[in-house]
Structure 1
Amino acid sequence: MRSLSKFVAVLVIAFAFSACKKSSTPAPDTTTSTIMTLTSNGTNISFDDCEEVTASVNNVVHTLISGNSTTNKNISFTVDIVHDPATIKAGQAYPVISTSSQTADAATLFYSPNATDTYVSQLANSQGSVTINGVTATTITGTFSGVLFAEGDFETVVYTITNGAFTAKRN
């Protein structure tokens, strides 16, 4: 299970970073600020870039909402919702579960506080939720909370995430 968890975490992180690549698409809508904020163990954290990315893992569609810092590329936070972004609606809520889950309508949280460590929600000790507050053609907004563990540790909470909120650019 640890190998699968690590594989999914690496996959999610790879998708999060691929969302930052420049393309030849039109200039982004600068009228809406795309941000992610959260409180981690009592410390407020802000990401000045937040984007939605669609991924498919074993033919299961995921909506990844990634908060990134444009000044510190080594820190990121990702909310992975196992739900097709085309059908996400305001008012939908998703329980936070594990990194290895392909359970429809559930979410996983990933936090990389530096270049080498990633902390995740765990199935054996699931706590938290993600709620979608608004969906437009260009943005998705929501809130989240949960507890995060080191890989393979299902008992020791490393990070308690509260007051999570995002406004993500839809891709």
Structure 2
Amino acid sequence: MKNTTKLLLGALLVAIIFNSCKKSDSNSPTGTSMKFTSNGAAVSFNSCVAISATVGNTSEVLITGINITNAKPGASSFEVELTHDINTLKAGQTYPVASSFSQLDASTLYYFTNASDVFNTQTGNAQGTVSITEVTSTSIKGTFSGKLFAENDFTGTTVLYTITNGSFTAKRGN
């Protein structure tokens, strides 16, 4: 019985992953994705999801791009974090990169280049912006750009990644 339950849960997970990128008709968006230019090189992820979270008393929106291949996530990913309630997001809203921790209506960008290295915007040298271009009950679209630093470079002394031309189409997860 336990093996059957595990098998069914595994099959359900695979179905959810494949369904999240499924096109509903020829007029729908091409699915979820995240694309940007990093130091002049094109980067793209074939899956993107937006979820809500609460940290302390602060509402956040986490928009994550990742490559899914054969139902398995890749090692690299990119995350756009907004300190804003997902239920009040609207097209036309713009979120500057945070210049202080937990700054409301601000953004933070994270680039996980592999399973152990992360680069992000820093409050000591806040450079970048995220703009929401479309919000529906099932998806969120937007654009982003920014300067990323080493995880422990809190003053933002050395720019390691310049992110430009960023865009995402994310499926709302919750």
Same fold judged by TM-score > 0.5? yes
Matched, 1:59 2:60: no
1:105 alignment partner, SS class = coil
1:162 counterpart residue number: 164
Shift of 1:152: 2.0
How many equivalent pairs are there? 150
TM-score, normalised to structure 2, is 0.80
TM-score, normalised to structure 1, is 0.82
Q: What whole-Å deviation, never above 9, does each CA across 1:23-69 have from its counterpart, x for those lacking one?
A: 997x5472241000000000000000000011111121100000001
Structure-2 separation of matches of 1:53 and 1:135: 13
Larger mean CA deviation between 29-38 and 129-138 belongs to 29-38
2:80 counterpart residue number: 79
1:122 counterpart residue number: 122
1:68 counterpart residue number: 66
1:141 counterpart residue number: 141
Structure-2 separation of matches of 1:23 and 1:101: 37
| Higher radius of gyration, 1 or 2 | 2
Shift of 1:97: 2.2
Structure-2 separation of matches of 1:108 and 1:86: 19
What amino acid is aligned across from residue 30 of structure 1 in structure 2?
K
What amino acid is aligned across from residue 89 of structure 1 in structure 2?
K
What amino acid is aligned across from residue 164 of structure 1 in structure 2?
G
Which residue, out of 37, 44, 54, partners 1:46?
44
What amino acid is aligned across from residue 160 of structure 1 in structure 2?
T
Structure-2 separation of matches of 1:131 and 1:60: 20
Runs of 4+ more than 3 Å apart: none
Which runs of no fewer than 5 residues in structure 1 stay unpaired?
Answer: 1-20
Structure-1 separation of matches of 2:38 and 2:21: 29
Q: What whole-Å deviation, never above 9, does each CA across 1:2-36 have from its counterpart, x for those lacking one?
A: xxxxxxxxxxxxxxxxxxx93997x5472241000
